[in-house]
Structure formats: structure tokens, C-alpha cells
């Protein structure tokens, strides 16, 4: 997938569509939404900075989709305040709609159109669209642009959805499980595209069940469970990962030994002092993002 150049001078992004370019792209305070008296979203506070990739993580039914749909302006809220690109999404304007891109789980149904026809058609809806041919190349569909959607594989149709989400040159892009159906190579190519979009100034809100994807892409993550944010921060720091107890493991003859410690450097130095050379099978590990995530959602279930 090809990368994107920075936005050209005179575009909405450079022209300062928000009154304060340093203000959060998304601000949420006390967000609430109930269904039948049950709180799906229960008092969420959230800030997303301009140009960052922000991942919202959580199990099914945690409130992720409801939260994102409120931010997109497709679902009303019962309480709280929300500002997306400086606008309350409960009262969207056509100009505001043109500034956001959405890649939802449902996808687009237009089975008899070719991928190229559909992407070119959608480009006409936006005041400053990306070039359709460049967009098709960026999502890896050049070889399939002439195929009808019904002829495409699930992963290829997902790439069409991504192309439709970015064709409008959005300031803020919502990605809901974007790589579902992608093979490992396609996922890596997609990650490169997201990094390129973020580098060009696009703010990205990502929901994903792939924790390696969140760790590879996100500047910050938030974990939502039972309608509440239970932790937020950089992936490397979430839940105290950076300072969590480490496990030092090594091979001692035919035995695998492990030691949990808050001072792994000291332990390794001591092992090295008693070793004639390299320490066999040495590893130093801290809790993975998956470990921390499972601990966080388990604590509130």
C-alpha cells in the first residue's frame, strides 16, 4: 500500500477548521447511554489529541460501538457532553460530515458496481477528495479495481470499505475492526497505510480485538468494560506495564529457571558474573498488552 503525502496548503486541515488547532479532536465528559434501564455507556470521559491514533479496546458488549456511534453522530446520548472536531455530533452539519471518515463493520453493499466505480462515485460527495486511483492503489486494490464487488473476496471488500472511509480526505477517521478478514501480509500493509495517514495529520479512532494491532498503531489506548473506561495511556505503560514485575528466565543445565523481580538488570548482571560466557536461553519479559488487558476487563466483570 502506498503512503500519503501531507495535506496540501489551503486544505481544511491547514486552514484551521477548528478555532484552536491544539484543542482535542474529540472531547467527551460524563457520556451516558442506557438501553431498557441498563447502562451501556456509564459516565465516560475521553480526550483524543489532533493527529494521534487512539485505540478503544474492550470485549463485546462493553460499550465500544455505542460510544463510537455517538461520536459519529449516528446514535443519541442520554447524558454528558461531546465535541468532535469542535462540533456536537448530535447536531451535525454537512461540512462537519465531510471532515470525518467512517469504516464500519457492516460494509457497503453495491454488488454490481466495480470497486473503481464505487470509489470514484463516492469521491464526488466530498469537497476535497483524494484522487480515486491513488486511493485504490493505497489500499492495494489496483489489480482488482475493475472487478464487481460480488466478485471480490471478503478481505478485498474490506479494502473497499477502507478506501471509502479515506476518499474524502478526513480530518478524523473512525476505524471499526478494520482488518477483519485480512491475511497477515494485508494487515501489515494496512498498518503502514494508517501510519502514513497519521503522519499526514489525520486523527484516527480505532476499535480492534487484535491487541498486537493496537500496540503497533496506537499512540494511546483506552480499555472500556461494562460501559466505563478502566484504564487509559500509552500501550507500553497501560496498567503499569512499564514498571511491572519482570520475569528473568535462563537455562541452567537441563533445567529452565525463572525469577520474578523488580530489578531485572541486577539479576542479569549477577547471572553474567557467574557465567563463563553468554547466559543460555536468557529472556527478560514483562506483562504483555494482552496480559494487562485481560486483567483489566476481568477485574470489573
Q: What are phi and psi of 47, to 5 degrees?
A: -130, 135
pLDDT, position 81: 97
pLDDT, position 218: 95
Do the beta carbons of residue 24 and residue 171 sit within 8 Å?
A: no
Reading across the β-sheet that carries 79-84, which strands appear in turn? Answer: 38-48, 26-35, 79-84
Confidence (pTM): 0.80
Task: Say which residue the cell 478503544 belongs to.
Answer: 56
Q: What are phi and psi of 43, to 5 degrees?
A: 85, 50
Question: Which of helix, strand or coil describes residue 80?
Answer: strand
- Strand 53-57 and strand 203-207: the pairing is parallel
Q: CA 238, CA 19: separation in Å to the nearest integer?
A: 32
> Which mean pLDDT values do the consecutive 10-residue runs of the chain (301 residues) have?
43 44 90 93 96 94 93 96 96 94 77 90 92 91 92 86 92 89 82 88 92 93 94 89 84 89 89 86 87 81 54
Distance of CA 70 to CAs 41, 200, 269, Å? 10, 26, 53
pLDDT, position 117: 94
C-alpha cell at 202: 489525520
Do the beta carbons of residue 76 and residue 127 sit within 8 Å?
A: no
pLDDT, position 112: 83
Distance of CA 69 to CAs 18, 44, 73, Å? 21, 14, 6
Q: What's the distance, Cα to Cα, between the start and end of the chain in Å?
A: 40
**Residue 271, C-beta contacts closer than 8 angstroms, at least 6 positions apart:** 248, 250, 279, 282
pLDDT tens column, 175-226: 988 887 778 888 888 888 888 888 888 999 999 988 999 999 999 999 999 9
DSSP state of 157: H
C-alpha cell at 274: 557467574
The DSSP line for 96-114 is: HHHTEEEE-SS----TTSB
DSSP state of 129: P
Amino acid at each position: 500500500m502506498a503512503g500519503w503525502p501531507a495535506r496540501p496548503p489551503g486544505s481544511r486541515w491547514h486552514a484551521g477548521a477548528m478555532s484552536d488547532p491544539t484543542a482535542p479532536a474529540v472531547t467527551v465528559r460524563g457520556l451516558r447511554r442506557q438501553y431498557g434501564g441498563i447502562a451501556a455507556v456509564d459516565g465516560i470521559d475521553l480526550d483524543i489529541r489532533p493527529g494521534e491514533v487512539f485505540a478503544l479496546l474492550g470485549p463485546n458488549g462493553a460499550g465500544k460501538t455505542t460510544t463510537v456511534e455517538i461520536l459519529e453522530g449516528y446514535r443519541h446520548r442520554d447524558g454528558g457532553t461531546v465535541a468532535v472536531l469542535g462540533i456536537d455530533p448530535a447536531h451535525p452539519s454537512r461540512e462537519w460530515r465531510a471532515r470525518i471518515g467512517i469504516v464500519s463493520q457492516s460494509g457497503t453493499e453495491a454488488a454490481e458496481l466495480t470497486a473503481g466505480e464505487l470509489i470514484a462515485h463516492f469521491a464526488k460527495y466530498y469537497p476535497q477528495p483524494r484522487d480515486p486511483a491513488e486511493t485504490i492503489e493505497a489500499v492495494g486494490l489496483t489489480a482488482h479495481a475493475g472487478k464487481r464487488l460480488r466478485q471480490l473476496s471478503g478481505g478485498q471488500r474490506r479494502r473497499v470499505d477502507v478506501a471509502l472511509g479515506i476518499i474524502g480526505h478526513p480530518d478524523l477517521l473512525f476505524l471499526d475492526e478494520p482488518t477483519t478478514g485480512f491475511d497477515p501480509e494485508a494487515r501489515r500493509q494496512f498498518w503502514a497505510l494508517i501510519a502514513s495517514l497519521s503522519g499526514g495529520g489525520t486523527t484516527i479512532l480505532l476499535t480492534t480485538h487484535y491487541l498486537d494491532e493496537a500496540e503497533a498503531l496506537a499512540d494511546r489506548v483506552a480499555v472500556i468494560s461494562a460501559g466505563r473506561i478502566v484504564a487509559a495511556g500509552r500501550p507500553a505503560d497501560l496498567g503499569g506495564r512499564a514498571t511491572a514485575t519482570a520475569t528473568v528466565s535462563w537455562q541452567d543445565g537441563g533445567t529452565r529457571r525463572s525469577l520474578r523481580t523488580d530489578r531485572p538488570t541486577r539479576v542479569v548482571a549477577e547471572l553474567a558474573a557467574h557465567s563463563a560466557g553468554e547466559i543460555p536461553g536468557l529472556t527478560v519479559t514483562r506483562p504483555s498488552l494482552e496480559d494487562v488487558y485481560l486483567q483489566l476487563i476481568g477485574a470489573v466483570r
